[in-house]
Copies of this chain bind each other. A is one copy, B any other.
Amino acid sequence: MARHNTVDDLVGRAREGEPRAVARLISMVEDASPRLREVAAALASHTGRAQVVGLTGSPGVGKSTTTSVLVSALRKQGKRVGVLAVDPSSPFSGGALLGDRVRMQDHATDSGVFIRSMATRGHLGGLSWATPQALRVLDAAGCDVVLVETVGVGQSEIEVVSLADTTLVLLAPGMGDGIQAAKAGILEVADIFVVNKADRDGASQTVRDLRYMLSLGERGAKGDSSWKAPIIKTVAARGEGIEDVTDALDEHRDWMNRSGERDRRRQLRAEAEIEAITLEQVRARIGDIRGQSTLPELAKRVVAGELDPYTAADDLVDTVSAS
Protein backbone atom coordinates (compact mmCIF):
# COMPACT_ATOMS: atom_id res chain seq x y z
CA MET A 1 0.00 0.00 0.00
CA ALA A 2 1.38 3.38 -1.00
CA ARG A 3 2.40 5.70 1.80
CA HIS A 4 -0.21 8.30 0.92
CA ASN A 5 -2.94 5.79 1.69
CA THR A 6 -1.96 5.00 5.25
CA VAL A 7 -4.63 5.79 7.81
CA ASP A 8 -2.48 8.48 9.42
CA ASP A 9 -1.99 10.14 6.09
CA LEU A 10 -5.70 9.97 5.27
CA VAL A 11 -6.52 11.53 8.62
CA GLY A 12 -3.93 14.24 8.00
CA ARG A 13 -5.44 15.06 4.61
CA ALA A 14 -8.97 14.94 6.04
CA ARG A 15 -7.92 17.44 8.70
CA GLU A 16 -6.81 19.76 5.93
CA GLY A 17 -10.32 19.42 4.51
CA GLU A 18 -9.56 17.27 1.48
CA PRO A 19 -12.95 15.88 0.45
CA ARG A 20 -11.61 12.63 -1.00
CA ALA A 21 -9.77 11.76 2.19
CA VAL A 22 -12.92 12.49 4.22
CA ALA A 23 -15.02 10.33 1.88
CA ARG A 24 -12.47 7.53 2.03
CA LEU A 25 -12.38 7.51 5.83
CA ILE A 26 -16.17 7.46 6.08
CA SER A 27 -16.28 4.55 3.64
CA MET A 28 -13.77 2.66 5.76
CA VAL A 29 -15.94 3.29 8.80
CA GLU A 30 -19.15 2.36 7.00
CA ASP A 31 -17.80 -0.83 5.48
CA ALA A 32 -16.36 -1.87 8.83
CA SER A 33 -13.01 -2.04 7.05
CA PRO A 34 -10.34 -4.08 8.84
CA ARG A 35 -8.65 -0.74 9.40
CA LEU A 36 -11.71 0.67 11.20
CA ARG A 37 -9.96 0.42 14.55
CA GLU A 38 -6.89 2.10 13.19
CA VAL A 39 -9.11 4.93 11.87
CA ALA A 40 -10.88 5.27 15.21
CA ALA A 41 -7.57 5.43 17.06
CA ALA A 42 -6.14 8.01 14.66
CA LEU A 43 -9.25 10.23 14.94
CA ALA A 44 -9.59 10.15 18.72
CA SER A 45 -7.38 13.11 19.59
CA HIS A 46 -8.78 15.31 16.82
CA THR A 47 -12.44 15.26 17.77
CA GLY A 48 -14.79 17.11 20.08
CA ARG A 49 -14.91 20.48 18.34
CA ALA A 50 -18.00 20.18 16.13
CA GLN A 51 -21.49 21.07 17.28
CA VAL A 52 -23.55 17.99 16.45
CA VAL A 53 -27.08 19.02 15.44
CA GLY A 54 -29.75 16.34 15.13
CA LEU A 55 -32.57 17.23 12.75
CA THR A 56 -35.68 15.10 12.82
CA GLY A 57 -39.31 15.20 11.80
CA SER A 58 -41.96 13.19 9.96
CA PRO A 59 -41.80 12.80 6.20
CA GLY A 60 -43.31 15.83 4.48
CA VAL A 61 -42.40 18.49 7.03
CA GLY A 62 -39.68 19.83 4.77
CA LYS A 63 -36.64 18.32 6.44
CA SER A 64 -34.50 18.19 3.32
CA THR A 65 -35.31 21.74 2.28
CA THR A 66 -34.59 22.98 5.79
CA THR A 67 -31.28 21.14 5.88
CA SER A 68 -30.33 22.64 2.55
CA VAL A 69 -31.10 26.26 3.46
CA LEU A 70 -29.51 25.73 6.87
CA VAL A 71 -26.31 24.61 5.19
CA SER A 72 -26.37 27.77 3.06
CA ALA A 73 -26.92 29.97 6.11
CA LEU A 74 -24.10 28.35 8.06
CA ARG A 75 -21.78 28.65 5.06
CA LYS A 76 -22.54 32.37 4.88
CA GLN A 77 -21.27 32.61 8.46
CA GLY A 78 -18.04 31.03 7.20
CA LYS A 79 -18.68 27.77 9.03
CA ARG A 80 -17.56 24.43 7.68
CA VAL A 81 -20.56 22.09 7.60
CA GLY A 82 -21.03 18.34 7.50
CA VAL A 83 -24.31 16.59 6.69
CA LEU A 84 -25.02 12.98 7.59
CA ALA A 85 -28.35 11.84 6.19
CA VAL A 86 -29.76 8.75 7.82
CA ASP A 87 -33.19 9.40 6.41
CA PRO A 88 -34.16 6.93 3.69
CA SER A 89 -36.49 9.54 2.18
CA SER A 90 -33.78 12.18 2.08
CA PRO A 91 -32.33 13.37 -1.21
CA PHE A 92 -28.93 12.91 0.38
CA SER A 93 -29.52 9.25 0.95
CA GLY A 94 -31.19 8.42 -2.32
CA GLY A 95 -34.97 8.22 -2.45
CA ALA A 96 -35.55 11.81 -3.38
CA LEU A 97 -37.69 14.48 -4.88
CA LEU A 98 -35.83 15.76 -7.88
CA GLY A 99 -36.35 19.37 -6.80
CA ASP A 100 -34.57 18.81 -3.53
CA ARG A 101 -31.84 16.86 -5.18
CA VAL A 102 -31.22 19.70 -7.60
CA ARG A 103 -31.29 22.21 -4.78
CA MET A 104 -28.59 20.27 -2.93
CA GLN A 105 -26.40 20.42 -6.02
CA ASP A 106 -25.61 24.00 -4.96
CA HIS A 107 -23.49 22.54 -2.19
CA ALA A 108 -21.90 19.81 -4.28
CA THR A 109 -19.13 22.09 -5.51
CA ASP A 110 -18.63 23.88 -2.19
CA SER A 111 -15.44 22.62 -0.53
CA GLY A 112 -16.71 23.78 2.87
CA VAL A 113 -19.57 21.26 2.85
CA PHE A 114 -19.33 17.51 3.28
CA ILE A 115 -22.49 15.57 2.53
CA ARG A 116 -22.83 11.90 3.20
CA SER A 117 -25.75 9.52 3.31
CA MET A 118 -25.58 6.64 5.73
CA ALA A 119 -26.97 3.24 4.96
CA THR A 120 -29.46 2.18 7.59
CA ARG A 121 -28.34 -1.42 7.61
CA GLY A 122 -30.07 -3.72 10.00
CA HIS A 123 -32.15 -1.13 11.77
CA LEU A 124 -35.01 -0.14 9.52
CA GLY A 125 -35.41 3.58 10.03
CA GLY A 126 -32.87 3.53 12.79
CA LEU A 127 -29.51 5.19 12.87
CA SER A 128 -26.70 3.30 11.28
CA TRP A 129 -24.23 1.95 13.80
CA ALA A 130 -21.53 3.63 11.72
CA THR A 131 -23.00 7.09 12.28
CA PRO A 132 -21.05 7.91 15.45
CA GLN A 133 -17.78 7.05 13.70
CA ALA A 134 -18.72 9.02 10.58
CA LEU A 135 -19.47 11.94 12.90
CA ARG A 136 -15.96 11.66 14.29
CA VAL A 137 -14.51 11.79 10.78
CA LEU A 138 -16.40 15.02 9.97
CA ASP A 139 -15.50 16.44 13.37
CA ALA A 140 -11.82 15.70 12.80
CA ALA A 141 -12.12 17.20 9.31
CA GLY A 142 -12.80 20.55 10.94
CA CYS A 143 -16.55 20.84 10.55
CA ASP A 144 -17.93 23.48 12.86
CA VAL A 145 -21.41 22.02 12.62
CA VAL A 146 -22.46 18.50 11.67
CA LEU A 147 -26.14 18.09 10.81
CA VAL A 148 -27.49 14.58 11.33
CA GLU A 149 -30.75 14.30 9.44
CA THR A 150 -33.04 11.44 10.34
CA VAL A 151 -36.64 10.57 9.58
CA GLY A 152 -38.96 11.02 12.51
CA VAL A 153 -40.94 7.87 13.04
CA GLY A 154 -40.12 6.46 16.41
CA GLN A 155 -36.89 4.98 17.57
CA SER A 156 -34.66 7.06 15.34
CA GLU A 157 -35.55 10.32 17.09
CA ILE A 158 -34.45 8.87 20.35
CA GLU A 159 -31.24 7.65 18.76
CA VAL A 160 -30.51 11.00 17.15
CA VAL A 161 -30.87 12.59 20.55
CA SER A 162 -28.32 10.26 22.03
CA LEU A 163 -25.89 11.57 19.41
CA ALA A 164 -26.66 15.27 19.21
CA ASP A 165 -25.50 18.29 21.14
CA THR A 166 -28.59 20.08 19.87
CA THR A 167 -31.78 18.42 18.69
CA LEU A 168 -33.99 20.24 16.24
CA VAL A 169 -37.50 18.87 15.78
CA LEU A 170 -39.37 19.92 12.63
CA LEU A 171 -43.16 20.05 12.41
CA ALA A 172 -45.59 21.35 9.84
CA PRO A 173 -49.15 22.66 10.15
CA GLY A 174 -52.05 20.27 9.88
CA MET A 175 -50.18 17.02 10.08
CA GLY A 176 -51.19 16.12 13.61
CA ASP A 177 -47.50 16.16 14.26
CA GLY A 178 -47.78 17.62 17.70
CA ILE A 179 -49.72 14.60 18.88
CA GLN A 180 -47.38 12.21 17.08
CA ALA A 181 -44.40 13.94 18.63
CA ALA A 182 -45.96 13.68 22.07
CA LYS A 183 -46.61 9.98 21.51
CA ALA A 184 -43.08 9.32 20.38
CA GLY A 185 -41.71 11.06 23.44
CA ILE A 186 -39.96 13.59 21.24
CA LEU A 187 -41.32 16.68 23.02
CA GLU A 188 -39.10 16.08 26.01
CA VAL A 189 -35.94 15.73 23.96
CA ALA A 190 -36.23 18.63 21.51
CA ASP A 191 -33.92 21.56 22.15
CA ILE A 192 -35.41 23.66 19.37
CA PHE A 193 -38.78 23.34 17.62
CA VAL A 194 -39.19 24.49 14.04
CA VAL A 195 -42.70 24.84 12.65
CA ASN A 196 -41.99 24.83 8.93
CA LYS A 197 -44.40 25.81 6.13
CA ALA A 198 -45.55 28.55 8.48
CA ASP A 199 -47.32 30.32 5.62
CA ARG A 200 -49.94 27.58 5.58
CA ASP A 201 -53.26 27.57 7.34
CA GLY A 202 -53.03 26.19 10.81
CA ALA A 203 -49.45 27.20 11.54
CA SER A 204 -50.47 29.31 14.53
CA GLN A 205 -52.65 26.49 15.76
CA THR A 206 -49.69 24.09 15.54
CA VAL A 207 -47.60 26.50 17.60
CA ARG A 208 -50.40 26.86 20.17
CA ASP A 209 -50.85 23.07 20.37
CA LEU A 210 -47.15 22.63 20.83
CA ARG A 211 -47.00 25.28 23.58
CA TYR A 212 -49.90 23.64 25.35
CA MET A 213 -48.35 20.20 25.21
CA LEU A 214 -45.02 21.55 26.36
CA SER A 215 -46.72 23.23 29.30
CA LEU A 216 -48.26 19.90 30.26
CA GLY A 217 -44.84 18.31 30.09
CA GLU A 218 -43.26 21.01 32.23
CA ARG A 219 -45.61 20.32 35.12
CA GLY A 220 -44.43 16.77 35.48
CA ALA A 221 -40.84 17.40 34.40
CA LYS A 222 -37.59 17.41 36.27
CA GLY A 223 -37.85 21.16 35.89
CA ASP A 224 -34.27 22.08 36.73
CA SER A 225 -33.22 22.85 33.18
CA SER A 226 -32.66 26.52 32.47
CA TRP A 227 -33.11 25.89 28.72
CA LYS A 228 -36.60 26.42 27.37
CA ALA A 229 -36.96 25.04 23.85
CA PRO A 230 -37.93 27.91 21.52
CA ILE A 231 -40.57 27.45 18.82
CA ILE A 232 -39.46 29.00 15.54
CA LYS A 233 -41.67 29.51 12.48
CA THR A 234 -40.01 29.05 9.10
CA VAL A 235 -40.85 28.84 5.41
CA ALA A 236 -37.73 26.95 4.43
CA ALA A 237 -38.57 26.91 0.72
CA ARG A 238 -38.26 30.71 0.76
CA GLY A 239 -35.50 30.82 3.36
CA GLU A 240 -37.77 32.64 5.83
CA GLY A 241 -36.94 32.25 9.50
CA ILE A 242 -33.67 30.41 8.90
CA GLU A 243 -31.61 33.10 10.63
CA ASP A 244 -33.75 32.60 13.72
CA VAL A 245 -32.81 28.93 13.56
CA THR A 246 -29.07 29.58 13.29
CA ASP A 247 -29.37 32.11 16.14
CA ALA A 248 -31.09 29.47 18.25
CA LEU A 249 -28.36 26.95 17.40
CA ASP A 250 -25.74 29.43 18.62
CA GLU A 251 -27.69 30.21 21.78
CA HIS A 252 -28.13 26.56 22.56
CA ARG A 253 -24.45 25.83 21.98
CA ASP A 254 -23.49 28.65 24.34
CA TRP A 255 -25.95 27.46 26.96
CA MET A 256 -24.65 23.90 26.63
CA ASN A 257 -21.11 25.10 27.28
CA ARG A 258 -22.07 27.34 30.20
CA SER A 259 -24.34 24.87 31.93
CA GLY A 260 -22.10 21.82 31.68
CA GLU A 261 -24.87 20.06 29.75
CA ARG A 262 -22.54 19.66 26.77
CA ASP A 263 -20.07 17.63 28.81
CA ARG A 264 -22.85 15.62 30.40
CA ARG A 265 -24.36 14.68 27.04
CA ARG A 266 -21.02 13.83 25.51
CA GLN A 267 -20.20 11.60 28.44
CA LEU A 268 -23.51 9.73 28.01
CA ARG A 269 -22.99 9.60 24.26
CA ALA A 270 -19.56 8.02 24.69
CA GLU A 271 -20.95 5.53 27.20
CA ALA A 272 -23.70 4.54 24.78
CA GLU A 273 -21.21 4.28 21.95
CA ILE A 274 -18.82 2.06 23.87
CA GLU A 275 -21.72 -0.11 25.01
CA ALA A 276 -23.00 -0.45 21.43
CA ILE A 277 -19.57 -1.44 20.14
CA THR A 278 -19.20 -3.93 22.96
CA LEU A 279 -22.54 -5.55 22.10
CA GLU A 280 -21.57 -5.52 18.43
CA GLN A 281 -18.38 -7.35 19.28
CA VAL A 282 -20.28 -9.94 21.25
CA ARG A 283 -22.69 -10.28 18.34
CA ALA A 284 -19.74 -10.78 16.00
CA ARG A 285 -18.39 -13.49 18.27
CA ILE A 286 -21.81 -15.15 18.18
CA GLY A 287 -21.61 -14.83 14.40
CA ASP A 288 -18.28 -16.65 14.46
CA ILE A 289 -19.89 -19.25 16.66
CA ARG A 290 -22.77 -19.51 14.18
CA GLY A 291 -20.18 -20.75 11.68
CA GLN A 292 -19.55 -23.52 14.15
CA SER A 293 -22.40 -25.69 15.33
CA THR A 294 -22.94 -24.32 18.83
CA LEU A 295 -25.87 -21.95 18.22
CA PRO A 296 -27.75 -24.14 15.69
CA GLU A 297 -27.36 -27.14 18.02
CA LEU A 298 -28.66 -25.16 20.99
CA ALA A 299 -31.57 -23.83 18.89
CA LYS A 300 -32.41 -27.34 17.73
CA ARG A 301 -32.74 -28.49 21.32
CA VAL A 302 -34.91 -25.45 22.14
CA VAL A 303 -37.21 -26.24 19.20
CA ALA A 304 -37.41 -29.84 20.38
CA GLY A 305 -38.41 -28.65 23.85
CA GLU A 306 -35.37 -30.24 25.46
CA LEU A 307 -33.91 -26.94 26.53
CA ASP A 308 -35.27 -23.50 27.37
CA PRO A 309 -33.76 -20.46 25.61
CA TYR A 310 -32.34 -18.98 28.83
CA THR A 311 -30.31 -22.06 29.63
CA ALA A 312 -29.22 -22.10 26.00
CA ALA A 313 -28.13 -18.46 26.29
CA ASP A 314 -26.09 -19.33 29.39
CA ASP A 315 -24.22 -21.88 27.32
CA LEU A 316 -23.67 -19.33 24.59
CA VAL A 317 -22.43 -16.62 26.97
CA ASP A 318 -19.88 -19.11 28.31
CA THR A 319 -18.77 -19.98 24.79
CA VAL A 320 -18.50 -16.32 23.80
CA SER A 321 -16.55 -15.40 26.93
CA ALA A 322 -14.13 -18.26 26.37
CA SER A 323 -13.57 -17.41 22.70
Interface string of A264-297 (1 = CB under 8 A from B): 0011101101110111111100100010000110
Q: How far is the CA of A304 from the CA of B313 in the complex (A)?
A: 36
Q: Is the CB of A303 within 8 A of B44?
A: no
B153, B184, B316: which contacts A274 (Cβ < 8 A)? Answer: B316
Tell me the interface secondary structure of chain A in the complex.
helix
Number of interface residues of A (CB under 8 A): 65
Q: Is the CB of A41 within 8 A of B321?
A: no
Q: How far is the CA of A260 from the CA of B145 in the complex (A)?
A: 54
| Chain B CB within 8 A of A300 CB | yes
Q: Is the CB of B275 within 8 A of A305?
A: no
| Chain B CB within 8 A of A36 CB | yes
With A282-B279, A320-B278: A37-B310 Cβ-Cβ less than 8 Å: yes
With A41-B310, A263-B303: A185-B124 Cβ-Cβ less than 8 Å: yes
Q: How far is the CA of A316 from the CA of B304 in the complex (A)?
A: 35
| Chain B CB within 8 A of A214 CB | no
Can you list 11 A-B pairs with a CB-CB distance of less than 8 A? A37-B310, A41-B310, A44-B302, A124-B154, A133-B309, A154-B154, A267-B299, A270-B298, A274-B302, A277-B312, A279-B283
